[in-house]
Amino acid sequence: MTTPDFEDLLRKASLRVTRPRLAVLGAVHDHPHADTDTVIGQVRAGLGAVSHQAVYDVLRVLTDAGLVRRIQPAGATARYEARVGDNHHHVVCRTCGAIEDVDCAVGQSPCLTASDDHGFSLDEAEVVYWGTCPDCSTAPTAANATLEGTR
């Protein structure tokens, strides 16, 4: 997306267009599943001195407005993504922490049927798949490297 597209997104969400908001939107769009440190680094690369708090505030405003999505797999830091408005899930590598999107297997939300919804009106199902990414699966482990070195 381009800056005019980001400006339009902000205006449609009834938000003022500011340089920090544009920079944060750009960072999240360019770096899917970025943590706050990555977003801060990207924003500072484009704008110069911007406080951590300013970036945190913008991320909160954009999340509240539905322009970005905050995800936080168990044991991981919060990540932000620009893919909003659908019911996709995530796969997370237990070794390196890489995160990828996984489309819902059934369709629009909720894609899972709860065994008992306890009277809730369900509108979203969040699933996190855990495993090992292809890079980590094929990387030699320290133990294997030691064993191979003694042969």
**At 110, which CATH number?**
3.30.1490.190
Structural domain includes residue 77: no
Place of tokens 């094929």: 138
Q: Are residues 61 and 105 in the same domain?
A: no
Do 13 and 64 fall within a single domain? yes
Task: Give tens-digit pLDDT for 47-65.
Answer: 988 999 999 999 999 999 9
Q: What is the largest CA-CA distance in the chain?
A: 66
Q: Does 18 score more than 80 pLDDT?
A: yes
Q: What integer pLDDT is reported at residue 27 of this predicted model?
A: 96
Answer yes or no: do 27 and 51 share one domain. yes
- For residue 145, the model assigns a pLDDT of 47
Residue 79 lies in a domain: no
pTM: predicted TM-score of the whole model, two decimal places: 0.80
Q: Please state the rounded mean pLDDT for residues 113-138.
A: 84
Same domain, 59 and 94: no
pLDDT of the residue at 127: 82
Domain residues for the domain of 27 are 3-71
pLDDT tops 80 at residue 131: yes
CATH of the domain at 19: 1.10.10.10
Q: How many domains does the chain have?
A: 2
Q: Which two tokens stand for residue 17?
A: 């267009």
The predicted model gives 76-82 an average pLDDT of 92
For the chain, the average pLDDT equals 86
